[in-house]
Structure 1
Amino acid sequence: MKYQGPLLGVVAMTFVFGVAVATSVPAASLTTPDSFDNVQIDAAVGGEQSFSALEGEGPAVSRDGYVINTPTPTPTPKPVASSSSSGGSSEGGYGGGQCQAGSDAIGESVAFSPVYPDGYRMSDGFGPRSEGFHKGVDMLNSSGVPVHAIADGVVIAASGNGGTGGVYTSIAHKVGGQAVCSMYMHFIDGSLTVGVGSIVTAGQVIGLTGRTGNATTEHTHFEMYGADGVRYDPMPFMAEHGIG
């Protein structure tokens, strides 16, 4: 019983020390979770540090899949050959060779139409005049009156508003097996409805009466020619086919 005092003191000190440790050290530092077994931490003084998980261990990470679609550029469509544009651009040709080639590419013309079904007033005719030899006839009409193709055919030439003819077009026909071409000038700018390669029918509206190019009033300068490219008086041909 004489040791009771010192023994109680030792027990008390041990209890106090235990409480101090329990309250100052985190519980996590006193245990080693199983999830840390597969973690490696490499540290070196003055060097790089790395962290890695061992292959095949650790929680799997799920990510949503995605697809990047790169749109395919859409080719810009090429414009159809047309003479309705301004700026003096022209396409095709209106010589004898083009007339023959166009005629060879189409069938026989079986229908015919006047340039102006509702009539017109004749101005200068075919032949010599003070300004020089007139290679066609001038048909006067009001601005904007529709101009018609005289027969079935294919367009071999077309132009914007440039040159003496202004806005014009030329059409190849086959009549009686022969190449026959008609040409129409001075349409209103932007009114031409056909372009090179267009197939037209007799009586089809191809443009509107204007005064573009070398013209002092609204009219259509109308010409006809054949495979030799030589212009001739169109009035006998038109009278023959009832379109004078």
Structure 2
Amino acid sequence: MSIGAMSVVGGLLLATSVPALAVTATDTEVRASVYAPAEDTLSVRPQSLDVGSEVALAPIDTEAWEVEAAPPPIESSVAGVGSVSLIETPRVVWPVDPSRISGGFGGRDAPCAGCSTFHDGIDFTPGVGSPIVSLADGVVITATESGGGLGVYVEVQHNIGGQLITSLYAHQQYGSLQVSVGQRVTAGQVIGAVGTTGQSTGPHLHLEMYGADGVRFDGLAWLQSHVTG
């Protein structure tokens, strides 16, 4: 009985401690262990692209490309603000509806006491309260309700064609100013409204224009040749 019991116990120990394949294998061929890591047999083939003989690759003509440097900005000094850069603007618009004009640039009979006999600007009469817009991109250098004979007025400096141009919008309504000194504006942006402040005989926009030398020129002729939309 004790020999038989020992045989059974030995068999149990063998069954629980030795892998089954090691006991049941009957062939004598050497084989890899089932516990050995598998070998990576993945083979990666390089990709290729076949192009038909009828496809022609056109060479790039390097002579067809031109590179132009952007024009340099104009540096301007704004009182109380300091130096500002004015980027050249390609768009110029009418400040108001140009279909009604009551006074041109140049010599004239003084229309009121204290009015000059040489008109420095153009008088547009689109109607009281009509919006006034900046004629081009720029920076506001004056915006005041205490402009003496000019009444409520705004000045904007622009870089147009590489030249420093200033536009002045006078006789605006009190309380209508929409801009302040140092503010950047864009072409067509509302800056105020038509009024009759200062030395004025009726509601109108008095528009003056001048260059870096401060000399006024005919704004109507200039706008007719520069307005783009």
Category of TM-score, reference length = shorter chain: 0.5 to 0.7
Deviations, residues 112-160 of structure 1 (Å, cap 9, x unaligned):
11111x4441111000111211000100121111011100000011211
2:136 corresponds, among 139, 151, 166, to 151
Q: 2:56 matched to which residue of 1? A: none
Q: 1:138 matched to which residue of 2? A: 123
How far residue 221 of structure 1 moved from its aligned partner, in angstroms, is 0.2
- 1:196-211 to structure 2, matched below 5 A, reads 196-211=181-196
SS in 1 for 2:153: strand
SS in 2 for 1:213: coil
Deviations, residues 39-92 of structure 1 (Å, cap 9, x unaligned):
xxxxxxxxxxxxxxxxxxxxxxxxxxxxxxxxxxxxxxxxxxxxxxxxxxxxxx
Q: 2:77 matched to which residue of 1? A: 101
The total of aligned residue pairs comes to 145
1:121 aligned to 2:106?
no
SS in 2 for 1:123: strand
Change (3 A) 1:141 1:202: same
1:220 and 1:194 mapped to 2: Cα distance? 17
The one-letter amino acid paired with 1:122 is I
Sequence identity of aligned pairs in percent? 46
How far residue 241 of structure 1 moved from its aligned partner, in angstroms, is 1.5
How far residue 109 of structure 1 moved from its aligned partner, in angstroms, is 1.1
Q: 1:184 matched to which residue of 2? A: 169
- 1:84-95 to structure 2, matched below 5 A, reads none
Structure 2: runs of 5+ lacking an equivalent: 1-74, 111-116
The one-letter amino acid paired with 2:93 is S
- CA contact under 8 A between 2:125 and 2:203: conserved in structure 1? yes
How far residue 236 of structure 1 moved from its aligned partner, in angstroms, is 2.1
1:191 and 1:209 mapped to 2: Cα distance? 9
Select the structure of larger CA radius of gyration. Answer: 1
The one-letter amino acid paired with 1:128 is G
- CA contact under 8 A between 1:100 and 1:227: conserved in structure 2? no
SS in 2 for 1:144: coil
1:126 and 1:178 mapped to 2: Cα distance? 21
How far residue 161 of structure 1 moved from its aligned partner, in angstroms, is 4.0
- CA contact under 8 A between 1:193 and 1:205: conserved in structure 2? yes
Change (3 A) 1:220 1:155: same
How far residue 101 of structure 1 moved from its aligned partner, in angstroms, is 3.4
Structure 1: runs of 5+ lacking an equivalent: 1-98
2:155 and 2:205 mapped to 1: Cα distance? 13
CA RMSD of aligned residues (A): 2.0
Deviates more, 1:147-156 or 1:107-116: 107-116
Q: 2:19 matched to which residue of 1? A: none
**Would you identify which runs of 4 or more consecutive aligned residues in structure 1 move more than 6 Å?**
none
Q: 1:52 matched to which residue of 2? A: none
TM-score normalised by the chain length of structure 1 = 0.56
1:148 and 1:110 mapped to 2: Cα distance? 16
- 1:213-224 to structure 2, matched below 5 A, reads 213-224=198-209
The one-letter amino acid paired with 1:115 is P
